């Protein structure tokens, strides 16, 4: 998975968009399938179509292949979900609508925002893969460091009710390694300053950790061990990208403010 993401990121923005379009659809399918296990019936077809439109329009806008106004089509998709629920004749229509929308907010929106990382200023022809790759590296270092250091030295539970195995030692270990990685990344990827990389690293540590906890809470609430089986032994898309999904919106807003 890491090799695939790196290859797509440094090769071409079109290839990256295509890969994460697949991840978006797979992640939505996992989310809606998990929700169904809890007895809720989100409009899976409408959600998948809306997610496809949401990601595709944002990808094309980020590639300067579509005018910004085309993003308004996503509002049409939102209200179509309302209308389609009228014809499903389910006793819990608003619960279904809520979880259909939540899947889009939790999965499709963060993945869509990743398209803007290489060019947050919308300059035609610009593609700074370093901003995207640096973000992924920080997420991976944080998660790997938290797991290794937490497994070896963890004694104080971070959030026992949600995830008993996650510890404060793991959080601090992942955080220290992420900040150290930010120094290295800033040396090679000098498009933004060291200060900016350190701030992004802190965002990744805080919100990436919350993303991990949130997904654990979600799976625990429906008694699921993994979000899916796309990666044997490692779970599904949501398991692998939980930190990315929560951290991406915060980093996106910071990049916009920078530019």
Please tell me which residue, 190 or 206, carries the higher pLDDT value.
206
Please give the pLDDT value at position 202.
97
Please give the pLDDT value at position 226.
58
pLDDT of 235 strictly over 80: no
Share of the chain above pLDDT 70, in %: 95
* Section 136-144 average pLDDT: 95
Confidence tier at 164 by pLDDT (50, 70, 90)? confident
- Beta bridge partners, 231, equal 235
Tens digits of residue pLDDT in 45-94: 999 999 999 999 999 999 989 998 999 999 999 899 999 998 888 888 99
Please give the pLDDT value at position 255.
93
* Section 105-134 average pLDDT: 90
pTM above threshold 0.75? yes
Q: Give the whole-angstrom CA distance, residue 217 versus residue 246.
A: 14
pLDDT of 237 strictly over 80: yes
Q: What are the tokens at 214?
A: 């949130």
Please give the pLDDT value at position 234.
60
Q: What are the tokens at 203?
A: 């965002």
Mean pLDDT of the chain: 89
Q: Give the whole-angstrom CA distance, residue 239 versus residue 241.
A: 6
Closest CA to 252 of 175, 200, 184: 200
* Section 154-177 average pLDDT: 84
Please, are residues 255 and 247 in contact by the beta-carbon 8 Å criterion?
A: no
Please give the pLDDT value at position 191.
82
* Section 4-8 average pLDDT: 92
Q: Give the whole-angstrom CA distance, residue 172 versus residue 142.
A: 9
Confidence tier at 228 by pLDDT (50, 70, 90)? low
């Amino acid at each position: 998975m890491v090799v695939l993401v790196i290859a797509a990121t440094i090769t071409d923005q079109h290839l990256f968009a295509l890969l994460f379009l697949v991840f978006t659809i797979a992640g939505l399918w996992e989310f809606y399938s998990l929700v169904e296990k809890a007895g809720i019936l989100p409009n899976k077809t409408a959600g998948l179509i809306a997610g496809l439109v949401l990601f595709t329009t944002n990808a094309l806008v980020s590639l300067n292949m579509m005018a910004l106004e085309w993003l308004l089509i996503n509002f049409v998709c939102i209200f179509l979900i309302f209308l389609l629920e009228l014809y499903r004749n389910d006793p819990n229509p608003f619960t279904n609508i809520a979880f259909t929308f939540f899947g889009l907010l939790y999965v499709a929106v963060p993945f869509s925002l990743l398209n803007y990382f290489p060019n947050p200023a919308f300059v035609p022809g610009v593609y700074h893969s370093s901003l995207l790759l640096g973000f992924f590296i920080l997420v991976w270092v944080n998660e790997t460091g938290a797991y290794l250091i937490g497994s070896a030295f963890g004694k104080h539970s971070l959030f026992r009710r949600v995830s008993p195995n996650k510890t404060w030692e793991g959080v601090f270990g992942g955080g220290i390694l992420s900040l150290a990685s930010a120094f290295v990344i800033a040396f090679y990827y000098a498009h933004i300053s060291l200060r900016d990389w350190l701030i992004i690293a802190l965002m990744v540590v805080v919100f990436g950790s919350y993303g991990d906890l949130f997904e654990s809470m979600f799976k625990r609430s429906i008694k699921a061990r993994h979000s899916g089986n796309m990666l044997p032994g490692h779970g599904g898309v949501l398991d692998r990208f939980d930190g990315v999904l929560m951290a991406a919106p915060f980093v996106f807003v910071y990049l916009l403010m920078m530019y």
